[in-house]
Structure 1
């Protein structure tokens, strides 16, 4: 790929984050009109990625990036094939409309700039997920989507419901992200590669690995939590507490499809196994039915659409893992169609709420004349969602039934599930699109009227796009559907379905779906009551289970903390040194790595032995000291003796450092002890002395054995040669020790300085503590038998004057 092209791709990926930084400033100056300027950010990215359509349609992939840590094969790289390019176009294209829609929807909001910033940060994060090539990039952007969605869902943080929904989404999707991280490590270990562009052409390496099952479960954990599969579906409807632009963007067109994207991406190398074709259809089918049933129960427009989004995600997962010839093509078509019609309907729901003051479908009616453009966009989007011609949703439904229909029990079961789920979504689509607009006019909290262009432009464009994509299906399949299906299948696929009637089982199933959907729509109130009664029989769902889980986790954490963090410093220090002794002593004895006893060196001089004796005398003085100040000074004797030993054995720099450290330590500790006025001696019972002494001896023995073993190994001069060769060349320093401390280990040195600074501040705070003296007790002692008499009125008056 040309360098200039790589630079533009990198700019398209990073520009949303730059726009997020500028959004508050632009909004403060331009108000809601800043939306027109900020929409240029995703608009530029959309145009840039659309330029790759011809290249990808010809079967070529676009890769590029920059090396980050070459030794570990970690790169900031991207991979654009039919799958990732389609997602990139959906994210940037719908994102452009969402930014414009947000300008009208959030007009006058004091935090509109913050909202623009959050939505653009999310856009950049989601774009990074779908175009990332390296595993590291994928995970980082994956977690960024969870963080930014947390900020968007909890945007109205003054309301408890918003805060709860945001925390719930973060816990569920963040926990799934940790599972995905473990899964990516498995994939790295199993395949030996860290790039998706290499992994998807890895053949059967993953399927044949003994760790395939573990990797599959971990990947499914990340995908199912992100894409709201049962039983993790509950967080998505609760996320409707976010402003409607968030619902239209995150929870219909982009973020919730991240899990589906991951499954589609890994289908060529992890699919076509019994586990894959069992788990995905099973969980997907259950999610489809649960989402559809819960959708018809709702009366809030956003919740109705949210639960149908859950159902649609289940349908996509079911198709991705079904394994029939047309299943991948059906999943691709439905994913694109769903992004267009669901994004449009969510914006319609927000527009109705914005202009009428309510989202309750039972309190709406007769808005057709007041909001004609909104009504038209709603009907067009609903026709696509219902799978009626001539819309792209019709092509998707036909392909779905062509993929699922069959004579075996498995095919019959999942075909029935698909028909039932699609019929439920049919009823909800027209309930959202028709009931608020048709019938007699209902008085609403606000005088309803058509919204500004910023509000109806997005749903109108998306609804018409669903029509244009079907009418121009040849072009749609050439540049979008076929390349995407090929990427998901791992081999060349050609999507050919058009609007011409297809006489056969798929068409018959479509007619059956329409008939059932019409019946459900006409009896929606009765169906809603029946589902409500069914849920009462089932009992509490996963949403309440989540609350119970969090309460139990908090209680468990509290009890564990009470045991392991009892607040006693002596317990913490004792446990730490016991663990240190175990780590130092147990492995050498278990693995037979004890050092050989060293021979007494023959060339040790009298002056050298003298300082060893001085160190021993200092140790005895510490143990025999009558007060703590004497023990501190005696401890310094050992430090100075060791410093002299370093000097005698040819390490003057180390010796100088030891002198400085010991001097400062003795002075500082002495000053602290004199200011704190602590007890003059440290009295401990004999039993405690034995325990502490044993732990100290064990730690000392462990370090002695470790040092002896280390010195008996052959000396590796690799680091020595490296520092000698590059200290002058790279760091321009002749003193190798100084260069190591300041340059090669600069971060480590900074950390040590920070520790010393924090310790100094803590000591300063400690010595400034002043314990207030207890005032003398002057109150009269009251007899416990005879209660004190209240003062007389004259006495009380005198005390009051005083």
Structure 2
């Protein structure tokens, strides 16, 4: 399994480094790669008939419990087949749709990286690897959504999607860390037996908040939904892939995977029902009033994701079976409609449904495929959507509490989705064409074949539902419910309430479709609420934060080093001084202090004289020399108190510092004496305050007994663990090697910065 993921990422970077060495038509061959992966997972699907799951374990960081564990069960198999199967069609479709695009190698690299990230996410059985691949999906989707980076709308959409999903990733990580801290394990397989431990813990509610935050942002649940319609600025193949079968269902996958672990039958379930219910109504309502094909599909996708979350919240056998079925149903018909929208846009260069009619005469194959997808969206018999819709109604009707109200919500949502499905899949192909046939670009086989395949699967699974049921959906249900079920998909449920509701849904969906142009007027009233919509509120907060950041930066980061030092010193003085005065009983006199020796007093006087010269001199070189004298005197004081190795280290540092100061200051303009008495007084007060604080800390360190545990540890283990006899060197290089490394990196970066400034100045002087 890990070999498959490594191969995907290697192929992605090989595509990137290929540059423009391939002609656009050769990129069609790349569809073979996801097809091979699809067949690979299809082979393992046959093994699920004998075993419930396949678990693979690879050690990574075993000391922390972080390993590359992968689990292939019904749920991960369902998503893996969607990712690779629809991915194959997207590769095939994009090879013609984007044949004139620049940087086609980058696009396919991003697409392949995204596919590998999604596979890693759904296959991982370790919390940290799940998070790692989760973040990779956010990063790669950012590049895909913003692929047309010359357009401002694409850049803005990519940034919005990345910001929202990035926030969710942070919350998800916090939830995972809390779970691991409570259970002592990062393994999802082991967490299955820790359900009671988590639910009885005082941090359970906080865990739910974090997990919900991650899942809801990724799967565009209200109020985080607005990034998904905005992401329609992406190329159509990206929209079809990310927003029908993969990225937006990553959050759904997390909720489904953790349902058997975190579901308590009350907080978990009710939250999912409420959020999912609001999202599905909100998205469906907006989808019926939009006129852009991709906007219609985007809002209907938001609604569909809400339906799945709603069903996971209900949590009964019918609901969970309906959820896994609808995941597949939605992926098939929504990918078909997205690809159809791309074909239409490619042919007539518009997606406005008020301007699209009569295209069925010129692309009948695409029209038939779109009709089938629209019928599946409405739940018409003999389509896969009909079976899924029946399961949804069975779930709500059989719910022990509020069954009637939940059914009303479900029916209302499906009526609206049926109407929007007809608008997207039927409206553009009926009537007389507005444009002349000569202006139409008929789709090639690379564009219409993926649409036909997806629509045929919608029909095949609708007429023969056992093909999807026995092969994968039953196992996906078992993975979520952790129990077997006697439920199965069937074409005919008899004459019952569910059938009546289905007929009602289709009829009123057709009504919304036929009279849609008369119903758009209410949208104008809805648009009045735009200032208080989640998107507007989020953007307003973003603008406020930008203004705050600008003002803060102008105040605190104004480019003057002296101001930075003042802020740092004042903060340390205030914080440490307050803590020292309020919590430490100050003791300034002690009998343990030894008296001054003559040489100590001599060097102390030299330090005072050097400080005086540093402050009063008008020469930079004199100031640097005085500072060097202070440093060397401190080195000698270290020698007096028995630390010659530390003195030698300090001596080398002081020497290097003096040399660097001389080299840098030599390039600066002439010295300007500063005579502002107010600023001099301010600096004197700050200096005295900070010096007094250091004096008090030093005196208290001499008064209070020192703990020798750390010193003894280093002394006892320096040679045993690090094979070094010089304890100080061992501490710097081994025990605290990362500190030393980071300090070296900081110094190197600072040196490069100084060199760059000097070099830039030199270039300007030569230009002058």
The two structures share one fold, judged by TM-score above 0.5:
yes
Q: CA deviation at 1:407?
A: 8.0
Q: CA deviation at 1:445?
A: 8.5
The answer to whether residue 189 in structure 2 is matched with residue 197 in structure 1 is yes
The answer to whether residue 684 in structure 2 is matched with residue 689 in structure 1 is yes
Alignment RMSD, CA only? 3.2
Report what 1:185 is aligned to. Answer: 177
Change (3 A) 1:12 1:407: closer
Q: CA deviation at 1:450?
A: 4.2
- Distance in 2, matches of 1:468 and 1:764, equals 69
In structure 1, list runs of 5 or more residues that go unmatched: 1-8, 774-802
Report what 2:9 is aligned to. Answer: 17
The answer to whether residue 157 in structure 2 is matched with residue 162 in structure 1 is no
Report what 1:228 is aligned to. Answer: 220
Report what 2:696 is aligned to. Answer: 701
Report what 1:424 is aligned to. Answer: 416
The answer to whether residue 91 in structure 2 is matched with residue 107 in structure 1 is no
Matches within 5 A, 1:493-642: 493-527=485-519, 529-540=520-531, 541-582=533-574, 584=576, 587=579, 600=592, 609=597, 611-625=599-613, 626-627=616-617, 629-642=621-634
TM, length-normalised to structure 1? 0.86
- Distance in 2, matches of 1:679 and 1:441, equals 79
SS in 2 for 1:465: helix
- Distance in 2, matches of 1:675 and 1:112, equals 48
* 2:26 aligned residue (13, 18, 34): 34
- Distance in 2, matches of 1:202 and 1:589, equals 47
SS in 2 for 1:326: helix
- Distance in 2, matches of 1:96 and 1:303, equals 25
Structure 1 stretch displaced more, 463-472 or 717-726: 717-726
Deviations 1:654-693 (A, max 9, x none): 3332222222333443555566442578886456423311
The answer to whether residue 484 in structure 2 is matched with residue 492 in structure 1 is yes
Structure 1 stretch displaced more, 646-655 or 81-90: 646-655
Q: CA deviation at 1:374?
A: 1.3
Report what 1:136 is aligned to. Answer: 128
TM, length-normalised to structure 2? 0.90
- Distance in 2, matches of 1:24 and 1:630, equals 57
Alpha-carbon contact 2:714-2:731 (below 8 Å) kept: no
Q: CA deviation at 1:310?
A: 1.0
Alpha-carbon contact 1:341-1:466 (below 8 Å) kept: yes
In structure 2, list runs of 5 or more residues that go unmatched: none
* 1:755 aligned residue (746, 749, 755): 746
Matches within 5 A, 1:293-332: 293-332=285-324
Report what 1:480 is aligned to. Answer: 472
Q: CA deviation at 1:314?
A: 1.0
Alpha-carbon contact 2:374-2:425 (below 8 Å) kept: yes
- Distance in 1, matches of 2:136 and 2:658, equals 49
Change (3 A) 1:710 1:28: farther
* 1:45 aligned residue (37, 40, 46): 37
- Distance in 2, matches of 1:735 and 1:624, equals 37
- Distance in 2, matches of 1:766 and 1:224, equals 47
Structure 1 stretch displaced more, 471-480 or 418-427: 471-480
Report what 2:58 is aligned to. Answer: 66
Matches within 5 A, 1:138-287: 138-287=130-279
SS in 2 for 1:436: helix
Alpha-carbon contact 2:610-2:629 (below 8 Å) kept: no
Matches within 5 A, 1:649-688: 651-670=643-662, 676=668, 677-679=670-672, 685-686=680-681, 688=683
The answer to whether residue 365 in structure 2 is matched with residue 373 in structure 1 is yes
Alpha-carbon contact 1:406-1:412 (below 8 Å) kept: no
Change (3 A) 1:761 1:419: closer
Change (3 A) 1:709 1:351: farther
Alpha-carbon contact 2:719-2:725 (below 8 Å) kept: no
Report what 1:402 is aligned to. Answer: 394
Deviations 1:348-396 (A, max 9, x none): 1111222233322232333334223212322222232222232322221
Alpha-carbon contact 1:169-1:235 (below 8 Å) kept: yes
Q: CA deviation at 1:565?
A: 3.5
Alpha-carbon contact 2:344-2:351 (below 8 Å) kept: yes
Structure 1 stretch displaced more, 320-329 or 250-259: 320-329
Change (3 A) 1:283 1:531: farther
- Distance in 2, matches of 1:20 and 1:501, equals 47
Change (3 A) 1:344 1:544: same
- Distance in 1, matches of 2:560 and 2:701, equals 31
Q: How many residues align?
A: 755
- Distance in 2, matches of 1:735 and 1:714, equals 18
Q: CA deviation at 1:621?
A: 1.3
Report what 1:799 is aligned to. Answer: none
Change (3 A) 1:377 1:189: same
